[in-house]
Structure 1
Amino acid sequence: MRFIPTRFHGVLDYIVGIFLIVAPWVLDFSEHDAATWTMVIAGIIVLLQTAMTDFELGLIRRIPMRNHLMMDFMLGVLLALSPWLFGFSHYVYLPHLILGIFSILASLTTHRVPSHSYNAEHTSPDHIRNL
């Protein structure tokens, strides 16, 4: 069941991407390199992917929304499992697990195509002529 509009998903992505980058310091686990870099790299990927997605809040608009959601799902699985995959679960695991599950759920509940107004605007003859 997909009920999250792509525009709202974009807003969430920018917020979550920034939070992932600052989370190690905000949540006080920055002393552990693997736990920190996993979050920071995930945040950078989220921000870059969002900026490059072809939807309302994309800046470069090269990645189709369906691909964006598939990458969100895979990143969520990797983030959720990272404490055990990279061996820092004894130190911290809950932020990675929660944010990974959040990413998985967002990928499964977001619309696969941008809104009708976005599609109409970006497939009009004037828009195509200006490319």
Structure 2
Amino acid sequence: MRFIPTRFHGILDYIYGPLLIISPWLFGFSDVSYATWTAVVIGIALTALTVMTDYEVGIIKKIPMQTHLMLDFGAGVILALTPWMFGFADAVYTPHLIFGIFAILASLTTHRIPSESYRREHAQEERAR
């Protein structure tokens, strides 16, 4: 059941990525290097993905929304599992698990295609070029 509009998903992405990047300092696990680097690297990657996705809030508009959602899903699975994959679950796992589950759920509940009005407007822009 997909009920999240792509525009709203994009707005969440611009909050989610930077929040993931600063989460080690915000949630107090910056002294755990694997936990910190995992959050920062995935946060940077997802922010870059947001900027490059072809939807209402994308800037470069090169990655299709369906690809974006698949990458969100994969990043969420990886993020949720990294505390156990990299062995830092004894020190911290909750932020990674929550951020990972959030990404998985967002990817599964967001529309695969941007709104009709966006597609119409975007097609007009392409024809004008």
Partner of 1:18: 18
| Equivalent residue letter for 1:130 | A
CA distance in 2, matches of 1:49, 1:39: 15
Cα deviation for residue 129 of structure 1 reads 3.1
Partner of 1:59: 59
Describe the SS at the equivalent of 1:123. helix
What is the percent sequence identity of the aligned residues? 60
Count of aligned pairs between the two proteins? 129
CA distance in 2, matches of 1:8, 1:58: 12
Partner of 2:97: 97
CA distance in 2, matches of 1:58, 1:25: 28
User: Does 1:36 find its partner at 2:50?
Assistant: no
Cα deviation for residue 123 of structure 1 reads 1.4
CA distance in 2, matches of 1:109, 1:51: 20
Describe the SS at the equivalent of 2:23. helix
Cα deviation for residue 128 of structure 1 reads 2.5
Partner of 2:88: 88
Cα deviation for residue 22 of structure 1 reads 0.5
CA distance in 2, matches of 1:114, 1:98: 26
Partner of 1:123: 123
TM-score (norm 1): 0.96
Describe the SS at the equivalent of 2:100. helix
Cα deviation for residue 42 of structure 1 reads 1.0
CA distance in 1, matches of 2:27, 2:128: 46
Cα deviation for residue 122 of structure 1 reads 1.0
Question: Alpha-carbon deviations, 1:32-77, whole Å to 9, x = none?
Answer: 1100000001110111000000000000000000000000000000
Structure 2 unmatched runs, 5+:
none
Structure 1 unmatched runs, 5+:
none
